[in-house]
Structure 1
Amino acid sequence: MATRGTQILNPRTGQRSVFLQTAQDTGGALFQMETFHPAHNAAEPEHTHPFQESRCQVLTGTLRFRVGGVERTVKPGEAIVIPPGVAHHFWNDGEVEAHAIQEFRPALNIEDFFVAYFALARDGKLSDGGIPKSVLQLAVLLKAYDRVLRPTNPPRFLQRVLMETLGPVGRLAGYRPDYI
């Protein structure tokens, strides 16, 4: 279980995160992390948070967001709020590192997803596009974190097939959602 002060690094994108408030700290109401995004870093795959509102406040630098198909640059002192279920992703296309505070309400188990996803990146188990290289690992992650994160590709019906058919196979093969 992630705790306040946990630090994670995604070497694929260079993003660093420090957990400020976890589900345990807030009774499940909020997960908050401080994030650092190097200049010109790669975007993670477009996704939704089906049951969570996400908010990002930029402290320094800028972050470029694509939310519901519309692009917007968020500058220092500005915040963006993304309603549950809206497709989005973001990246730093600026010349300096961006520093931000990200929040997810309710917390659900999203902090565990970030720990697992960054660990997969650390171990070189993600493709250049940020997707697990193993379809079995992908199926296990999709099933375990279906309430907090859903990629927009592959289509949802294929995700369900992956989760329900290959998820159990992946678990039997030793893949775990709490990859650390």
Structure 2
Amino acid sequence: MADAIENPRTGQRMAFVTEQPELLEIETVNPASSVREPVHVHPLQESGARVSAGTLRFCVDGVERAVAAGESIVIPANTPHHFWNDGSADAHAVQWFRPALRSREFFETLFALARDGKIDAKGMPSLLQLAVTIPEFSQEIRTTTPPWPVQRALVALLAPIARRRGYRGVYRGSEHAPADAPSR
């Protein structure tokens, strides 16, 4: 995959194939796994996937559905969802976001955190990292728990502490972090 990133925690690979203000398309390879990403919304973006090999299982607004090779799914903006590959082989798909916003930068940040061991077993960064990442990408993605007003209140309290300790919302890798900061 040209221009690709990989999440070593999950084995997921992404290659950014279409990048325009109105559309981001990403070729993805999703290894079989029982691990599910956190339920989340894209508040301002319609998203979806076209599966070309294997099957991805989506849970959209509480309704579970398998999307097999040759099938697509469209997820309206601000709709709770998550997906996983519960099959036995890699699933290949083109995922898309309309408009693109800063989704690429979000995935690059998340995958860099994973590469540097700064993601827990559930796929989440530390609380202080979240305190600066949540507001940085709040237009692109939000987890559904705790509720958004609670997340905003926690961020208001913790973000100043996180920034003083060297955390930044956009993370490129530990080689760019201040020496005393656990992440950037």
Q: State the TM-score, normalized to the length of structure 1.
A: 0.91
User: Which letter maps to 1:143?
Assistant: P
Shift of 1:40: 2.4
For residues 59-100 of structure 1, what are the alpha-carbon distances to aligned partners after superposition, in whole Å with 9 as ceiling and x for unaligned? 000000000000000001100000000000000001111000
Alignment of 1:14-163 (within 5 A): 14-22=11-19, 26=20, 28-40=21-33, 42-132=35-125, 134-163=126-155
Shift of 1:20: 0.6
User: Which letter maps to 1:147?
Assistant: Q
SS of residue paired to 2:107: helix
- From 1, 6, 10, the equivalent of 1:9 is 6
Pairwise CA RMSD: 1.4
Whole-Å Cα distance in 2 between the matches of residues 171 and 73 of structure 1?
41
Whole-Å Cα distance in 1 between the matches of residues 3 and 81 of structure 2?
25
Whole-Å Cα distance in 1 between the matches of residues 46 and 113 of structure 2?
25
Whole-Å Cα distance in 2 between the matches of residues 52 and 29 of structure 1?
10
For residues 135-171 of structure 1, what are the alpha-carbon distances to aligned partners after superposition, in whole Å with 9 as ceiling and x for unaligned? 1101111010000000011221221012222123212
Whole-Å Cα distance in 2 between the matches of residues 60 and 33 of structure 1?
15
Whole-Å Cα distance in 2 between the matches of residues 138 and 40 of structure 1?
24
User: Which letter maps to 2:120?
Assistant: S
User: Which letter maps to 2:154?
Assistant: L
Whole-Å Cα distance in 2 between the matches of residues 84 and 165 of structure 1?
28
User: Which letter maps to 2:18?
Assistant: Q
SS of residue paired to 2:17: strand
Structure 1 vs Structure 2: percent identity of aligned residues? 51
User: Which letter maps to 1:18?
Assistant: A
SS of residue paired to 1:107: coil
SS of residue paired to 1:115: helix
Whole-Å Cα distance in 2 between the matches of residues 123 and 84 of structure 1?
31
Q: How many pairs align?
A: 172
Whole-Å Cα distance in 1 between the matches of residues 33 and 161 of structure 2?
38
Structure 1 stretches (4+) deviating beyond 3 angstroms?
none
Whole-Å Cα distance in 2 between the matches of residues 163 and 84 of structure 1?
23
- Contact kept in structure 2, 1:143 and 1:167, CA below 8 Å: no
For residues 90-144 of structure 1, what are the alpha-carbon distances to aligned partners after superposition, in whole Å with 9 as ceiling and x for unaligned? 0000111100000000011111000000111111111111111x21101111010
Whole-Å Cα distance in 2 between the matches of residues 12 and 86 of structure 1?
26
